[in-house]
Chain A
Amino acid sequence: MAATLVSARTRPSRAITVSPRERSSFFSTAVLLIGALYCLLPIVWVLFASTKDGGELFTTNTFVPSTHLWDNIVELTQYRGGLYWRWMLNTALYAGVGALLSTVVSSLAGFALAKYEFKGKATVFTVLLAGVLVPGVILAIPQYFLLAQIGLTNTYWAVLLPQIVSPYGIYLARIYTSASVPTDVIEAARTDGAGDFRIFWRIAIPMMSPALVTIFLFQFVGIWNNFMLPYIMLGNDSLYPITVGLNGLLNQGSSVPALYSLVVTGALLSIIPLVALFLVLQRFWKVDLGAGAVKA
């Protein structure tokens, strides 16, 4: 019985090439699939739960879908004049613009550190790299008070600016530039009269592109997931990213349970773009932390 289950999953062409010692193992496959089911569970739940209205959420069987998904989306859209979609746009802005700027800043710095010899290089690199180990907690609160002094708290800048510099991004950019941009190519371009910044944009950037995608994705997910910084920086809920917005909505839900169906639908809609982006780009997620190299 176990054997038939497994062989049904195995492609016939592949089964022929597999040697007897490497026959498929039911146990290994099952353990991994249980892990996968555990990871899917909350996502499957939210798919069903978002089809229910406020009352059904508490009364009906979880895995029986209802018909209120569209009503919930309409209600969510109408909630305080489309505030939810404003949160989604804000999140896209924070994560998209932030990650893009971060990638540019990291790749420039990484290129300079990898391809130039200059006094103070080792110090600059060490200090920037030490930033990897700095816990966010000792940054967020003083960042708030420093930005408050120049009147930037409760603005888009308060969330964007602190997340542009990424020590880990600079580190990856340096490692990857060393490995993938040959100094000879730079020398040749220079002999042809190209300036340093032109060499960077036209030659180094295309060669570094797999690492750049990785840096962009890391920063994008990092900013999208960041809760503490916007939670501290923002008071005006029209500037909130989705995480802070839904947290606030859930808080109100404890006194107005009807809001729970909005929270559930909002959670579902908010993970769709990120999950889609993630599935499309998942082949870029091959990061070797131990060796510090990016394989893409």
Chain B
Amino acid sequence: MTTVTTRRPGARRGLATPWLMLFPAIVLFVLFFAAPIVYTLVLSFQKSQVKGLGLGSGGRSTVFAGLENYVSALTDADFLASVARVGVYGLILIPTMLGLALLFALLLDSKRTRAKGFSRVTIFLPYAVPAVISSLLWGFLFLPSVSPFFDIANRFGITLPDLLSGDAVIVAIANIALWGGVGFNMVVMYTSLKAIPTDIYEAAKLDGASEVQVALRIKIPIIMPSLIMTAIFSIIATLQVFAEPVTLKPLSNSISSTFTPLMTVYRDAFTRNDVYSASATSIIIAVAIFALSFLFLRVVQRRAFGGEN
């Protein structure tokens, strides 16, 4: 045993060294990850109860609420509507964003495409623009009185749909997220494509396979793990959409204060001062994110790798 461990740096030195190196990370993790999660859990099972006349700060006390907050969140019409809205939003956004990212990544990987450097950098550029700023820019582009699209269409006598009113605002928000996210996902996929040794598909090309066939039959299956990861990260981000609708709110009449689940959490915690309901709702969102991610992973793995046995 000693012959093995002397090769390892930690064995001869004090055992404290790795722990010293991990110390800042662990302390910060406990304070800003572990403690908040536990605290949210605790709050989500409590409620505030009025004692006596409920006057003054001593008039309220915190009592155990069981699952009451969860039940009221799951039966709250506003919250359920926001969940449905985000579902539609995700169904529009995720396939479009990942489909385009994959298309662009494959085109970048093709030897027959030109102007690659320019396109790659330009498509990735929106990743550097914060969601608030991109919502603001697109918000003005959607605003009929400012937008160049409306201006140009008017000259041809066409009236464009106002994406800031009615249900169409979901499309407007999806477009903002698409703009911000397509480049990042493209780069992730492109990096995986670059890692494939070219001799794998050079042989197929010599046998007469077209570029499209090579992409569909060889490249996409090989980078499947990257595609799955980008999909999971997209699901996680989608369910937490917050900055875009909050920024568009002053420009649109159809964004309520409970438009997305996170906006509902924010309203409960800070407008209604009901941190208990807000905690229960955020636990529900977190569980939904975990469940969806794992469900997706299961389904995809069965589809993608199930045929191997």
B-contacting residues of A (Cβ < 8 Å)? Answer: 6, 9-10, 18, 21-25, 28-29, 31-33, 35-36, 38-43, 45-46, 49, 57-58, 61-63, 104-106, 108-109, 111-113, 115-118, 121, 124, 127-128, 131, 133-139, 141-146, 161-162, 164-165, 167, 170, 183, 186-187, 190, 196-197, 200, 221, 224-225, 227-228, 231-232, 242-244, 246-247, 250-251, 253-254, 260, 263-264, 267, 270-271, 274-275, 277-279, 282, 285-291, 295
Contact = CB atoms under 8 A, between A and B. Distances in A.
B75 interface: no
Given A35-B182, A57-B146, 13 more contacts: A24-B112, A32-B113, A42-B138, A45-B141, A112-B21, A118-B19, A131-B33, A135-B240, A141-B40, A183-B7, A187-B7, A247-B246, A295-B195
A288 B226 CA distance: 7
B137 interface: yes
B110 interface: yes
A288 B139 CA distance: 33
Contacts of B36: 138-139, 142-143, 146
A251 B246 CA distance: 10
B265 interface: yes
A36 B118 contact: yes
A291 B113 contact: no
B25 A170 contact: yes
Nearest to B283: A138
Given A145-B39, A289-B188, A118 B15 contact: yes
B233 A289 contact: yes
A200 B21 contact: yes
**Interface of B, helix, strand, loop or mixed by DSSP:** helix
Contact of B240 (A38, A39, A137): A137
B230 interface: yes
The list of the 5 closest CB pairs from A to B, nearest first, reads: A62-B148, A290-B226, A290-B225, A116-B10, A142-B36
Contacts of B300: none
A144 B35 CA distance: 12
Contacts of B224: 290
Interface string B23-50: 0111011011101110110010000000
B180 to A, nearest CB: 9
Interface string B269-282: 11000010011001
A144 B32 CA distance: 10
23 contacts: A22-B112, A24-B114, A25-B112, A108-B21, A112-B17, A137-B285, A138-B37, A139-B32, A139-B36, A142-B35, A142-B43, A145-B275, A162-B32, A165-B32, A167-B33, A190-B13, A197-B21, A247-B246, A254-B250, A275-B129, A290-B223, A290-B228, A295-B191
B203 interface: no
Interface in B125-145: 125-134, 136-141, 145
Contacts, number: 313
A288 B188 contact: yes
A131 B29 contact: yes
Nearest to B130: A225
B22 interface: yes
B186 to A, nearest CB: 9
B229 to A, nearest CB: 4
Given A228-B242, A271-B129, A109 B21 contact: yes
